[in-house]
Chains A and B, each alone.
Chain A
Amino acid sequence: MIVAVAYKWAGDAQDAVVRTDGTVDFTRAKAVVSDYDAVAIAVGRKAADALGAELVGICVGGPDAATPMATKSALSRGLDRVVVSAEPGLGGSGPTRTALALADLVKGLGDVAVVFAGDSSIDLGAKMVPAVLGGALGWPTLTDVAGIEVVGAQTRVVRTLGAGVQELKVALPAVLAVATDAAALKAPGMKDVMAAARKPVAKIEVTELGPEGDIVTTAPLDGPARRGIKIDCSDPVSAANQLIESLRADGVLTPAGGRR
C-alpha cells in the first residue's frame, strides 16, 4: 500500500518580494519544498505509519524539480522515495496541467490509498490542484484536512472549517488537501538529511502535456486605503492605549467580554 504526497519545488516565500502594486515576486526566491507541502508530508508520514504503507513523494515541475538538491530536500522531510516528472513544459505550469501530470504519476504508482497535497502552492496559491487531481482520478477529494485516523478498516478524516471541526468517514482511495496548520513544521534532522541521499528517486518522462490555463498574475483585492495613523511611542503606556483605541474605533477590537 502506498500513501502519496504531491509536493512542489517552488520559490521560498521568505525570499519573495512584495511589489508596490501588491503582487508578489518570486523570481529571485531560492527553490525549496513549499512550506504547505512540507505540512502535507508530515501528515502523510503519520498516515503511512498508521496504515503500514510506504510514503512516496510525487512531484511535477521544470528540470530543476529533478535536481539532486530538490529530491534530497523532499526526501529529508520523511518520504521513503520520490517519483518526479521534470520537463521544461511543466515548469511554471498552471494547476490543470500540473494536476493531470500528477494523476499520471499516481496511476503509475499502483496501490495508492491516499494522495495528500498541501493547501495550495505557496507561489501561485490557486488552490485547484487537489480538486483537479481528484477529478482526474475519480476519487473523493477533501480540502482543509487536519488529519486522518485509521481505525480498523475505517478511515476518518478531520477537517477544520470556519464553522468548526468536521469529522467524515471516507472510502479510500482519496485525495486530501491538508490545512496549513495540520502539523507543526519542523526542520529536518541531521540523520534525515544524510539518509535522504540513500533513498530511491525515479524520474518519469511525460509523453503528453495536459491543457494549460496559465495564471498571468495574482494581485491583492483592493482594501481600505491606508490612513497613515501615527502613534507617538515616546510613552509606551500611552502608545499602547492609543493603539487599542484606534483598533476599537475600526472594530478590530471589542471591549472585554464583547463579541464582534
Chain B
Amino acid sequence: MDFQLTDEQTMIRDAVRQFAEAEVAPMAAEIDREHRTPLEIIPRLAEQGLLGMFVPAEYGGAALDQLSYIIAVEELARVCATTSVMVEAHNSLAVWPILAYGTDAQKEALLPAMAAGEAMGAFGLTEPGAGTDVAAMTSTARPVDDGYILNGQKVFITGGGYAKTFVVFAKTTSEGPAHRQISAFIVDRDTAGFSVGEGERKMGIRASSTPPLMFSDVYLPKDALLGREGQGFEIAMKTLDGGRIGIAAQGLGIAQGAFEASVDYANQRVQFGRPIGSLQAIQWILADMSTDIEAGRLLTDRAAWLEGNGEPHAKAAAQAKLFCGQLASRVAGQAIQVHGGNGYTEAYPVERAYRDAKITEIYEGTNEVQRLVIAKQVLTERRVGA
C-alpha cells in the first residue's frame, strides 16, 4: 500500500489551497450572508484549471487523475462549500458524462468551452416527484422524425442559474422496465422553450444556485442525445457514482476547515487562566474530530483511486459519501461545541460550516440511498463468494 501523494498531487493540493485562501476564503462569509452566487470567481476557477479537471489536454483541460480532483474539491470546501459545489457539479455531473458517453463531435463542440469556464455545466435529473426514486420521473422526450420534443420540470439544479450546458434526463418511451425508458440529452440554455426559475433560499450552501428548470415543447435535434436511447438511467447512476466521491471530498473539506478553526480557537481562547486546548474535555473532542477526518479521507482516497484505476467503485463511493456526509455534520457540530457561544454566531466560520455540512448527507444520494447501494453490493458479494 502506498499512502504517499505523488509530487503532482502534493503540488495541486498546495496550489489549490493557496488559491482558495487568497481568492475564495475572503468572499465566503459575504456570499453566504447575501445568498449571492459568486459568478466573478468562474473566470479565475477556469484560469486555475479547476473547470476542466478531467478534460484531456487536447480539449483544453488539465487531465487530472481522480485523486487530484478530490484533493482540489476538498481544498475548496475547506474555505467555501459553495465554491466547491460549483466546481464539483460542473466537473462531476456535467463534464464527466459528456466525456464518458459523448461522441467525438459532442466532446469537440462542448468540452473546450466548459474547461474554459465559458459554458458552465449542470445536471438535470431531480424532479418534484422524482428525487431518490429516479425512475419515477415524468419528463418526456418524445421522438419525432428528426429529433425529440422535451417537456417537463426539474428542481434543485446546482448551477442552473448560470449554466450554459445542461445534461438533462427524460423518458423517451413508456415501454419496458422504467429504468430503460430514460435517455440523457445535452440541452443548451438558449434553446427555445427552455426556461429557468427562481432559485431556492437554502439553509446552507446559500450562494449555490439551485433553481428549477422548465421545458415546454423544447425541440432537440438527434445529436443532442447523450449515449444511446434508453441509456439515461445508466448514465445518471454512473455519473452519480463519481459525483458521490466529490461530495465525500466536499464533506471532508467542510470538516477539515471546521477542525482547523477549532484547533486555532482552542489554542487562543483562555478560560480559567489557560487556553481551553489544555482542558481534557476539549482535547477529547479535537481527538475525535481528527480521527473522524482521517478515516473519512482514507475512504474517499480509496474510492477515488478505484475509480481512477477503472475498478468497480460504486460501493466504495457510497461508503465514502455516507461516512463523510455524516462526519461533516458531526465535526461541524463538535466545532461549534469547542467554540461555545461564539460558535453559534455568524462571527465564526463554524456556524456556516454547520449549515453547509447537512447537504452532504442529502444531495447526490441521501444517506439512505448510500446504505441501499452498499447493502445491495455486500449481499451480492456474499452470494458470489459463497
Contact = CB atoms under 8 A, between A and B. Distances in A.
B99 interface: no
B261 interface: no
Nearest to A70: B7
Given A187-B48, A190-B48, A190-B72, A72 B15 contact: no
Contacts of B122: none
A196 B11 CA distance: 10
Interface string B339-382: 00000000000000000000000000000000000000000000
Contacts of A190: 12, 15, 48-50, 53, 62, 64, 68, 72
B116 to A, nearest CB: 11
A76 interface: yes
Contacts of B57: 191, 194
A194 B7 contact: no
B10 interface: yes
A197 B19 CA distance: 21
- Best-surrounded residue of B7, B10, B50 (most CB of chain A within 10 A): B7
B49 A72 contact: no
A240 interface: no
Contacts of A189: 15, 47-49, 62
Contacts of A69: 7, 10-11
B11 A76 contact: yes
A193 B15 contact: yes
A194 B63 contact: yes
Given A72-B7, A196-B11, A191 B62 contact: yes
A187 B19 contact: yes
B47 A194 contact: no
A63 interface: no
Contact of B64 (A68, A73, A186, A194): A194
Contacts of A68: 7
B195 interface: no
A194 B64 CA distance: 8
A66 to B, nearest CB: 13
A52 interface: no
B39 interface: no
B22 interface: yes
B10 A76 contact: no
A192 B68 CA distance: 14
Contact of B8 (A186, A187, A193): A193
Interface residues of B, number: 23
Interface string B43-77: 00001111001000100011110001000100000
B327 interface: no
Interface in B130-177: none
B18 interface: yes
Contacts of A193: 8, 11-12, 15, 49, 62
B316 interface: no
A190 B52 CA distance: 9
B62 A76 contact: no
A216 B14 CA distance: 31
Contacts of A192: 15, 49
B260 to A, nearest CB: 14
Given A194-B62, A194-B63, A194-B64, A188 B7 contact: no
Nearest to A190: B49
Interface string A61-91: 0000000110011001000000000000000
B16 interface: yes
Contacts of B49: 189-193
Contacts of B63: 194
Nearest to B64: A190
28 contacts: A32-B14, A68-B7, A69-B10, A72-B7, A72-B11, A73-B11, A76-B11, A187-B15, A187-B16, A187-B18, A187-B19, A188-B15, A189-B47, A189-B49, A190-B15, A190-B48, A190-B49, A190-B50, A190-B62, A191-B61, A191-B62, A192-B15, A193-B12, A193-B62, A194-B62, A194-B63, A194-B64, A196-B11
Given A32-B14, A69-B7, A190-B64, 8 more contacts: A69-B11, A187-B22, A190-B49, A191-B57, A191-B62, A194-B62, A194-B63, A197-B7
Interface of A: 32, 68-69, 72-73, 76, 186-194, 196-197
| Shortest 9 CB-CB contacts between residues of A and residues of B | A190-B49, A190-B62, A187-B18, A187-B19, A189-B49, A187-B15, A189-B48, A191-B49, A69-B7
